[in-house]
């Protein structure tokens, strides 16, 4: 068992100010796999000072040099892709083959995409007699979650590096080990000292200190809506830029003309990927009322094909949820669905048979779910799908939009124009049409309480840029 007892600050591995540590637990077997040092506000102060000192030189580095460095990072991560994937499988439980492909593969693709964006991006453009310059926003603080830990880290680090920002990262203490691999890679490829700094700790201490720090120009958090509100409040005191990528309760609208076997099967698999621990998961399946019985049968049969088990066991599709608290929370939601009168199609609140050790939850499908039920309104963050019957296309759209969230969504129709028409009416940041896959080059972010700002694509780069107008430049 390795001790992660140092932070990466100003290009060096340094001992934290305090002595506090926590265990990192493998959720598949509840065994401790590492000890993690926990920082405090003094560690944040050191990291912010390093980032502030490095900002002038890094922000003035030519974009071509920054692009070349992003490419080197991409290559170094590719060389360690399986190690990264397996590390994340151990710390948060996603099955290893999926983890290698998604948890390691997406961050690699993200670095590559920003290297490409930088090659064509114009940081200065004329506008009449005025020159418009786009400049790095400054020192950034990043607070990231455990569900796609490195993917969410890189979704902030890559565009920030591309823009010329310096940064402090606070990863989740539940799945922090991948962040140390990233720090090792950044050190190895020659990122200048102070540009990237890693400090672990509790949100109430390290996250709070970063959010309120007067020398931090921007904070970006991916997490729960409650956490985002807390960060926004703390950052408001110094009027810093805040970007929030928060929760979701996304609707998957199946119109009456679709191949239900294909649409339902894919919908169930997508919902239960990563044990349902995906902020953009399509957790509400809206189906024509007269088709609900058929949909229930397809969903039940689909779940039967899914192997639940250890992240490294052959054929596993559903691993555990991340920890005991998450397991209790998800089981509580399942019980609430039963208590409020939803029809239990498959699953239930008790642990899966033979998997009493580890934080496993039965993949659970409900039908006859109505919009006012708790399982239709709150983000469960576990393998729970709500099938909701509707009467008309207009009712389906209204139900989809009847949510405090607006992160993602989907629509299926045999008529592409009809599907696009419905997609345009959905108040959400992304819509997947007819089972389309995730696009690493598309902007990602939400409407309403799912947050503000966008990650990935040139829109993601621009979150890290200030706009300066220099009048008279061309007169």
Catalytic residue numbers read 245, 279
Give the CA-trace dihedral at 214, 218, 224, 230, to 10 degrees: 30
- Three-class SS of residue 457? helix
Helix (H) or strand (E) holding 331: helix 324-339
Sheet holding 130-136, edge to edge: 124-127, 130-136, 465-471
Comparing CA positions, the residue from 443, 210, 39 lying closest to residue 220 is 210
Distance between CA atoms of 74 and 186, rounded to whole angstroms?
Answer: 10
**181-188 contact pairs (CB < 8 A, 24+):** 181/80, 181/83, 181/84, 181/87, 181/150, 182/77, 182/150, 182/153, 182/154, 182/157, 183/8, 185/73, 185/76, 185/77, 185/80, 186/73, 187/8, 187/11, 188/76
- What's the first-to-final CA gap in the chain, in angstroms? 66
Half-sphere exposure of 300 (CA within 13 A, CB side): 13
């Amino acid at each position: 068992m390795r001790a992660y007892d140092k932070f990466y600050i100003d290009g060096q591995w340094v001992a934290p100010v305090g002595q506090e540590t926590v265990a990192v637990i493998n959720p598949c077997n509840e065994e401790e796999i590492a000890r993690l040092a926990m920082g405090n506000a003094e560690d944040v102060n050191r990291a912010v000072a390093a980032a502030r000192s490095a900002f002038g030189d890094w922000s003035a580095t030519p974009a071509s040099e920054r692009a070349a460095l992003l490419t080197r990072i991409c290559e170094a991560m590719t060389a360690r892709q399986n190690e990264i994937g397996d590390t994340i499988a151990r710390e948060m439980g996603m099955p290893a083959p999926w983890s290698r492909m998604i948890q390691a593969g997406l961050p690699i693709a993200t670095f590559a995409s920003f290297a490409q964006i930088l090659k064509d991006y114009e940081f200065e453009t004329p506008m009449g007699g005025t020159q418009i310059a786009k400049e790095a926003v400054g020192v950034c603080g990043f607070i990231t979650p455990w569900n796609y830990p490195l993917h969410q880290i890189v979704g902030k680090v890559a565009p920030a590096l591309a823009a010329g920002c310096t940064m402090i990262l606070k990863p989740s203490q539940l799945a922090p080990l991948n962040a140390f691999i990233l720090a090792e890679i950044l050190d190895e490829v020659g990122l200048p000292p102070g540009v990237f700094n890693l400090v672990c700790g509790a949100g109430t201490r390290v996250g709070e200190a970063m959010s309120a720090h007067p020398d931090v120009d921007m904070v970006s958090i991916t997490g729960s809506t409650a956490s985002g509100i807390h960060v926004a409040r703390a950052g408001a005191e110094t009027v810093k830029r805040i970007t929030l990528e928060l929760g979701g309760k996304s609707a998957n609208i199946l119109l009456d003309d679709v191949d239900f076997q294909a649409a339902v099967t894919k919908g169930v698999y997508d919902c239960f990927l990563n044990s349902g621990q995906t902020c953009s998961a399509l957790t509400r399946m809206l189906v024509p009322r007269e088709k609900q019985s058929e949909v229930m049968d397809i969903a039940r049969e689909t779940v039967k094909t899914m192997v639940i088990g250890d992240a490294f066991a052959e054929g596993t599709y559903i691993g555990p949820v991340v920890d005991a608290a998450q397991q209790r929370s998800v089981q509580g939601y399942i019980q609430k669905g039963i208590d409020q009168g939803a029809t239990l199609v498959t699953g239930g609140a008790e642990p899966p048979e033979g998997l009493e050790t580890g934080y496993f939850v039965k993949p659970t499908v409900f039908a006859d779910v109505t919009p006012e039920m708790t399982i239709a309104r709150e983000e469960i963050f576990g393998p729970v799908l709500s099938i909701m019957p509707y009467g008309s296309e207009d009712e389906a759209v209204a139900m989809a939009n009847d949510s405090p969230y607006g992160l993602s969504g989907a629509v299926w129709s045999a008529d592409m124009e009809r599907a696009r028409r419905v997609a345009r009416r959905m108040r959400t940041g992304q819509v997947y049409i007819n089972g389309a896959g995730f696009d690493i080059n598309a902007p990602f972010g939400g409407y309403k309480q799912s947050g503000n700002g966008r990650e990935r694509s040139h829109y993601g780069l621009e979150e890290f840029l200030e706009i300066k107008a220099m009048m008279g430049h061309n007169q």
